[in-house]
């Protein structure tokens, strides 16, 4: 439902920035600033940190059979992979794209392996269907538990909104964005359902819940002689996903800096590589800080809570634009009740945990979002200049070898 809403926004407004641009177009400057403040300093870096920690978990797991890897080792590995990808995305867009393509292919191969084995087991072993019999027998969860379960499930499908962040770079976006989103989401749903069916042919629901790395436990049971293949494959998958997240974050920073919502240095491009290297450096530093809590469940809830608030705002923007700009060319139009449904679900995901089971991380998330107002009014609305800030920007330009984007755009025009 969310992806269909974003398909309309991306095809009608093919500009960089994703949710940030759509909220600015539909709801104005202040909600857009809160959106980009939350996305660039909180949601996206936290998401990348969670992926990096998951990568570290799977990479180190084969070396510690029967016991969990040390926390310090996982943190070091997570920070290392963040900086490796930060350097790749700072050096070359082409290199980052090739990494994405190669690791996506490897990811699909590993998922196919798990699916095929599960289907063979299900067809040949009569005992394999037993875990399905009691798979959904449990106490009825309360509203807060349901919301947190959705946070975890929806996190697995993360990436459905990435395409809108790079809409300016897509050929024929009016056709390709809706087609890509609908095709990709459908494929992911089928693959993930089949993978989970494969897991349940071997593991019980309790074993799945208690395992920190489900695919590793699955591999130890099914292919013990070459069980290392699965954690390596999952690590490869996460590597590609993390690369996509960092690639997208640079486009978000570029969009915000272009209209003065972020410091000018963030939108500048490297004079040789034409990459947003300052944006990549800043986002990598912030993501590295988020690695230190090391609790994947809390970290996922921490940014998912705020993320779904922004998804709701984006769909509100869609509805506002339908009535404010009825003549806007919309190659694809979502069935409007779907947008209202997304807003309702987003509201539930945001409010249920706060009302029924308030936790400190939700308070931190709200305070962080509201703190953006303290920055917006003096520095964006009233345009107060910080002393020596221009000199600092010039110094960073020289050190990082970056220039404003309009220089490159002017050279292209000439």
Residue 152 pLDDT class (50, 70, 90 cuts): confident
Q: How many CB atoms lie within 10 A of CB 298?
A: 13
Average pLDDT over residues 170-181: 87
pLDDT of residue 410: 44
pLDDT of residue 4: 92
| Sign of the torsion formed by the C-alpha atoms of 320, 325, 326 and 328 | negative
Q: Position of tokens 């019980």? A: 204
pLDDT of residue 221: 84
**How many residues would you count in the chain?**
414
- The answer to which of 67-81, 174-188, 255-269, 371-385 has the lowest mean pLDDT is 255-269
| Summary mean pLDDT of the chain | 84
Cα 127 from Cα 300, distance rounded (Å): 35
pLDDT of residue 337: 95
Cα 86 from Cα 282, distance rounded (Å): 10
pLDDT of residue 342: 95
First to last CA, the chain: 44
pLDDT tens profile 21-54: 999 999 999 999 999 988 888 788 878 888 898 8
CA dihedral 242, 248, 250, 251 (to 10 degrees): 180
| Range 370-388 burial, b when 16+ CB lie within 10 A, else e | eebeeebeebbeeeeeeee
Distance of CA 323 to the CA centre of its chain: 30
**Residues 249/380, Cβ–Cβ less than 8 Å:** no
pLDDT of residue 143: 83
Cα 147 from Cα 324, distance rounded (Å): 33
**By residue range, what is the domain housing residue 65?**
2-413
Q: Position of tokens 């695919």? A: 215
Q: Could you tell me the two tokens for 100?
A: 């994405």
- Number of domains within the chain: 1
Phi, psi (5° rounding) for residue 211? -85, 135
- Helix ranges (DSSP H) in 61-70: none
Q: Could you tell me the two tokens for 132?
A: 């399905």
pLDDT tens profile 245-304: 887 877 787 788 778 888 888 878 888 877 888 888 888 898 898 888 756 566 566 667
Assign residue 269 a region (left: φ > 0; alpha: ψ between -120 and 50; beta: otherwise): beta
Average pLDDT over residues 294-315: 75
pTM: 0.83
Assign residue 154 a region (left: φ > 0; alpha: ψ between -120 and 50; beta: otherwise): alpha
Cα 66 from Cα 57, distance rounded (Å): 14
pLDDT greater than 80 at residue 399 = yes
pLDDT greater than 70 at residue 408 = no
Q: How many CB atoms lie within 10 A of CB 284?
A: 22
Q: What CATH number is attached to the domain comprising 394?
A: 1.20.1740.10
Most confidently modeled range among 195-204, 223-232, 371-380: 371-380
pLDDT tens profile 201-227: 888 878 888 876 788 788 888 888 777
Q: Which residues pair with 403 in a beta bridge?
A: 269
pLDDT of residue 413: 36
Q: Give DSSP secondary structure letters for 189-233.
A: HHHHHHHHHHHHHHS-HHHHHH-SSHHHHHHHHH-GGGTTHHHHH
Residue 338 pLDDT class (50, 70, 90 cuts): very high
pLDDT greater than 80 at residue 361 = no
Residue 411 pLDDT class (50, 70, 90 cuts): very low
How many helices (H) and strands (E) would you count in the chain? 18, 2
pLDDT greater than 80 at residue 113 = yes
Residue 135 pLDDT class (50, 70, 90 cuts): low
Cα 326 from Cα 304, distance rounded (Å): 32
* Run of H or E including 33: helix 29-38
pLDDT greater than 50 at residue 409 = no
Q: How many CB atoms lie within 10 A of CB 208?
A: 17
Q: Which residues pair with 104 in a beta bridge?
A: none
């Amino acid at each position: 439902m969310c992806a269909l809403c974003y398909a309309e926004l991306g095809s009608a407004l093919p500009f960089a920035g994703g949710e940030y641009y759509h909220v600015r177009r539909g709801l104005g400057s202040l909600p857009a600033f809160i959106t980009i403040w939350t996305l660039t300093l909180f949601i996206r870096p936290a998401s990348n940190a969670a992926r990096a920690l998951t990568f570290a978990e799977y990479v180190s797991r084969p070396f510690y059979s029967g016991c969990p890897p040390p926390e310090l080792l996982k943190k070091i590995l997570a920070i290392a992979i963040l900086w490796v990808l930060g350097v790749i995305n700072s050096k070359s867009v082409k290199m980052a794209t090739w990494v994405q393509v190669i690791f996506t292919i490897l990811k699909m191969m590993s998922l196919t392996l798990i699916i095929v084995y599960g289907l063979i087991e299900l067809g040949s072993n009569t005992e394999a269907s037993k875990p399905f019999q009691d798979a959904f027998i449990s106490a009825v969860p309360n509203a807060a538990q349901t919301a947190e379960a959705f946070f975890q499930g929806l996190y697995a499908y993360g990436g459905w909104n990435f395409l809108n962040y790079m809409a300016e770079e897509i050929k024929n976006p009016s056709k390709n964005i809706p087609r890509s989103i609908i095709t990709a989401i459908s494929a992911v749903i089928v693959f993930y359902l089949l993978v989970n069916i494969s897991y349940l042919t071997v593991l019980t629901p309790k074993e799945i819940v208690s395992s920190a790395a489900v695919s590793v436990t699955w591999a130890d049971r099914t292919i013990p002689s070459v069980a290392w293949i699965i954690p390596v494959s999952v690590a490869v998958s996460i590597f590609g996903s993390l690369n996509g997240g960092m690639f997208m974050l640079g486009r978000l920073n570029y969009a915000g800096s272009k209209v003065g919502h972020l410091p000018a240095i963030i939108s500048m491009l490297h004079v040789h590589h034409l990459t947003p290297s300052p944006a990549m450096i800043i986002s990598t530093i912030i993501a590295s800080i988020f690695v230190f809590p090391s609790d994947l469940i809390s970290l996922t809830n921490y940014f998912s809570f705020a993320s779904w608030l922004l998804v709701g705002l984006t769909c509100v923007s869609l509805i506002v634009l339908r009535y404010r700009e009825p003549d806007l060319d919309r190659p694809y139009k979502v069935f409007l009740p779907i947008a209202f449904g997304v807003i309702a679900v987003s509201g539930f995901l945001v409010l249920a945990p706060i009302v029924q089971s308030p936790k400190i991380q939700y308070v931190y998330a709200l305070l962080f979002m509201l703190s953006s107002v303290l920055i917006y009014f003096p520095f964006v609305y009233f345009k107060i200049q910080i002393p020596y800030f221009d000199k600092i920007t010039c110094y960073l330009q020289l050190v990082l070898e970056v220039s404003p984007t309009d220089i490159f755009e002017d050279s292209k025009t000439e």
